[in-house]
Amino acid sequence: MAKIQAIRGMNDLLPGQSSKWQYLENIVSDLLSKHGYQEIRMPIVEQTELFKRSIGEVTDIVEKEMYTFEDRNGDSLTLRPEGTACCVRAAEQHGLLFNQTQRLWYQGPMFRHERPQKGRYRQFHQIGVECFGFEGPDIDAELIALTDQLWKKLGIRDSVELQINSLGLPEERSAFKSALVVYLSDFKDQLDEDSVRRLDTNPLRILDSKSELTQKILEQAPVLTDFFGEDSKKHFAELTAFLDGLGIRYVVNPKLVRGLDYYSNMVFEWVTDALGAQGTVCAGGRYDGLVKQLGGKGSPGVGFAMGVERLVLLLEELKVFPEELDVVADVYIVAAGDGTQIKAFELAGHLRSKGALRVLQNMGQGSFKSQMKKADKSGARYAVILGSNEIDTDTALVKPLKSDEEQKSVAQSDLIKYIVV
């Protein structure tokens, strides 16, 4: 009988890994709360229509990557491929966007049916941040500055690069799109295969093409910024002024095009070359039209999402995780001899509640030697040893496991004082 395995591209997170995730998540949530952002939690499943209307009908995500299925009543449901649309839906549904501002964040699994590879999975996890009701570029700057801070706290700032671009307003962009298609259609027989396909599906992505010939043809192509109105130009100029003023280095990448339809004006990406093909570790942008598009009264929005798997991969690659992450206990209690276990339970409880220590208590008895081995392997700094001698005298032996200090007999009542220093 074949063993049942996890679904391809959907990974279990084992103990050695979960501690790393928690480390990252704690730093992120702490930073966000210091900026006054509030957590929001949405369902994992939404009506399929939500994603069709937000991400765009002809994007790869909607066309071939969604986990879509029929509910028992015939409704078409989809496992969320991204969080922004869900967040907008939830905020709008509960009136959070009516004449007010919001700074929100969320965290959780997303699903896309792609071929798995390094840094790309079918169930992956994002930490997303979305702001509503702010029109100006100052909030864009706040978001970018926040991520900049995060990289510094994690110790990876030197390994990521900020790229920014402006896509203009939807109408400006679609005017450019038409002009681009007209221009490129004359070279149709010279373009690479993917670009020809994109001519129909997603012309902006052609700017991204890896084909040299295509890039050469693009040199004479219309330029997006020429289609911008005053407001778009101003917004982007003010944003770069903020970044300059804050001393945040960036590269303006005119080829930077995000894959989702709803972006307008500013888009940005944090990229690294340390992860192979999947170098984008955090990305986002402004989506002023999305709320209205999904049926709301309308509210400007900006946000970004980080890929948790990719970040953890990067932190591992750069070896910036603290070493002691896998140490699960401060103290290991060794109890040898008849009648010592009850005392061990009591002492363990005492050390946990009054000493705020992480305490592992030996289970299953075993020889003194094997208990000491387990104490060592736990990574605990101290072994607290209880034998019949100690029980008789209300003491315990405290043996340091991480240093050469002598072990010491300590009164049970003085244990915390002795260990917590």
Q: How far is the CB of 218 from RNA (least distance, A)?
A: 14
Round to whole Å and give the CA distance between 155 and 149.
Answer: 10
Strands 76-79 and 331-335 come out as: unpaired
Exactly one of 218, 283, 312, 415 binds RNA (CB under 7 A); that residue is: 283
User: With CB under 7 A as the contact rule, which of the stretches 112-120, 133-141, 169-177, 350-358 interacts with RNA?
Assistant: 112-120
Contacts of 2 (CB under 8 A, 6+ apart): none
Q: In what order do the strands lie in the sheet with 67-70?
A: 45-47, 76-79, 67-70
Contacts of 107 (CB under 8 A, 6+ apart): 25, 29, 39, 125, 126, 127, 128, 308
Site for RNA in 337-396 (CB under 7 A): 337, 366-370, 372-377, 383, 385, 387-390
Give the CA distances from residue 381 to residues 94, 364, 419, in Å, rounded to whole numbers and listed in that order: 50, 22, 9
- Return the amino acid letter for 293: Q
Q: How far is the CB of 67 from RNA (least distance, A)?
A: 13
- Which residue's CB is nearer to RNA, number 118 or number 188? 118
Exactly one of 108, 109, 133, 259 binds RNA (CB under 7 A); that residue is: 259
Count other Cβ atoms within 10 Å, centred on residue 189. Answer: 6
User: With CB under 7 A as the contact rule, which of the stretches 117-125, 151-159, 318-326, 349-357 interacts with RNA?
Assistant: 117-125
Q: How far is the CB of 317 from RNA (least distance, A)?
A: 12
Give the CA distances from residue 332 to residues 179, 390, 394, 413, in Å, rounded to whole numbers and listed in that order: 71, 16, 18, 17
Binding mask 62-81 for RNA (x = CB under 7 A): ---x----------------
Contact 291/255 with Cβ under 8 angstroms? no
- Which residue's CB is nearer to RNA, number 126 or number 253? 126
Binding mask 260-279 for RNA (x = CB under 7 A): x--------x------xxxx
What are 328's two structure tokens? 């699960």
Round to whole Å and give the CA distance between 59 and 52.
Answer: 9
User: With CB under 7 A as the contact rule, which of the stretches 116-124, 147-155, 157-165, 219-227 interacts with RNA?
Assistant: 116-124
33 three-class SS: helix
Q: How far is the CB of 326 from RNA (least distance, A)?
A: 14
Contact 19/325 with Cβ under 8 angstroms? yes
Site for RNA in 209-248 (CB under 7 A): 210
By CB under 7 A, tell whether 134 contacts RNA: no
Count other Cβ atoms within 10 Å, centred on residue 263. Answer: 25
Site for RNA in 308-347 (CB under 7 A): 309-310, 336-337
Let me know the angle formed at the C-alpha of 296 by 291 and 301, rounded to the nearest 5 degrees: 25
Exactly one of 25, 114, 238, 317 binds RNA (CB under 7 A); that residue is: 114
Q: How far is the CB of 281 from RNA (least distance, A)?
A: 5
By CB under 7 A, tell whether 170 contacts RNA: no
Round to whole Å and give the CA distance between 319 and 323.
Answer: 9
Exactly one of 35, 120, 255, 352 binds RNA (CB under 7 A); that residue is: 120
- The residues binding RNA (CB under 7 A) are 5-6, 8-9, 11, 59-61, 65, 82, 112, 114-121, 124, 126, 194, 198, 205, 208, 210, 258-260, 269, 276-283, 305-307, 309-310, 336-337, 366-370, 372-377, 383, 385, 387-390, 397, 399, 401-402, 407
